Amino acid sequence: MAGGKRDWVYKLSRLDRRIIFFLIGLSVVVPLLIGLVLPVFTSPIVQNMFDRIESLPPGSRVLLSCDYGPSTAPENQPMAESITRHALARDCRLYIVSLWATGAGQIELLQDQVLRTEFEGKEEGVDWVNLGYKAGNQGLINAILLDLKAMYSTDVRGTSTGSIPMMEGVANLTDMDLIVGIGSGFPGVKEWIQFAGDRGDIPITGGVTAVEAPLLYPYYPKQLLGLMGGLQGAAEYETALIKAYPRFRQTAVNAVRLMGPQAVAHTLIALLVILGNVMFFMERRREGKRS
């Protein structure tokens, strides 16, 4: 305190955290209300993933594993939707599974909001199949690496996998041309890399929450062909998707729309961190002068 007074430096360095919470809240609410949308540019790590799917010939088998739940849906659901749109736009055959119990609900949302509305011409059992959730974590991956139908005897509707047309010729995971894991923890993309990618020599890509992304970067680019990291990664993939397939301009924008509030909130946080540091050094200098 300068001269015993509680001046602005003193007050600012002891700002009530509830004011900060309020400002963060405003920084998210206002951009959403005004519809702030900022340009997003696709980074190489996401572009590699996009290019890999783009290079798949029609009829390729893509396994999409939705290993997340409602708690991380804002980050992961746009990723799963983008992969679904891209794979089906390339006329790939999409096999949807989940290692998480809560993933089954997210797959249902994917079916209702993307598969059955935007791809009405694609047939269940011929172009895409929902094999659902199975317990077992990495043990399940181990098992389906050798025999997929032993674990998935039916799809989620109860139809025998022996009678599903697109399951013909699929003995195990090595018959997949690409595995895409969308995850938010254990089990997730890391387990797909360790138990399927490295052991079965199967190409793996994925999308994870921002918290997990730094843990997976060491696997890129040899063990992991590409990675969507958090909402930013999802927005980058949507940008690449819209650029290649303009027909998704109205639908594949969920993550891009949320980047506006993201940018404003991050800017506010950066300013508060700088302010905090300035206040810290100013107070320390005053303490030094007094002593």
Give, as ranges, the residues between 39 and 58 that touch other proteins (CB under 8 A): none
- Rg (alpha carbons) of the chain, rounded to whole number: 23
The token pair that represents 27 in the structure block: 């920084």
Q: Whole-number minimum distance, CB 111 to other proteins, in Å?
A: 17
Q: Report, in Å, the least distance between residue 47 CB and other proteins.
A: 15
Rounded least distance, CB 123 to other proteins, Å: 23
Shortest distance, CB of residue 102 to other proteins, whole angstroms?
Answer: 8
Per-residue contact string for residues 99-128; x = within reach of other proteins by CB under 8 A: --x---------------------------
> How far, in Å, are 55, 62, 156, 170 from residue 199 at the CA level?
24, 18, 27, 18
Binding mask 19-38 for other proteins (x = CB under 8 A): --x--xx--xx--xx-x---
Q: x/- string (CB under 8 A) for other proteins, residues 69-98?
A: --xxxxx-----------------------
Segments of the chain assigned E as strands = 61-67, 93-98, 128-133, 178-183, 204-208, 227-229
Stretch that binds other proteins, among 17-25, 86-94, 113-121, 245-253 (CB under 8 A): 17-25
Q: Which window, 59-67, 121-129, 190-198, 274-282, contacts other proteins (CB under 8 A)?
A: 190-198
First to last CA, the chain: 13
Q: Given the complex with other proteins, which of 24 and 38 has the nearer CB atom?
A: 24
Omega before 221 within 30 of 0, i.e. cis: yes
Angle at 227 between CA 225 and CA 231, to 5 degrees: 165
Q: Give me the long-range contacts of 8-17 (CB less than 8 A, separation at least 24).
A: 9/279, 9/282, 9/283, 9/286, 10/283, 12/275, 12/279, 13/276, 13/279, 13/280, 13/282, 13/283
Q: Tokens 């991956």, residue?
A: 141
Q: Is residue 150 at the binding interface for other proteins, with CB under 8 A as the rule?
A: no
Binding mask 199-228 toward other proteins (x if CB under 8 A, else -) reads x---------xxx-xx---xx--xx-----
Coil, strand or helix at 92: coil
The label of the residue with tokens 């809560």 reads: 102
Q: Which residues bind other proteins (CB under 8 A)?
A: 18, 21, 24-25, 28-29, 32-33, 35, 71-75, 101, 133-135, 138-139, 142, 153-154, 158, 193-195, 197-199, 209-211, 213-214, 218-219, 222-223, 229-232, 258, 261-262, 265-266, 269
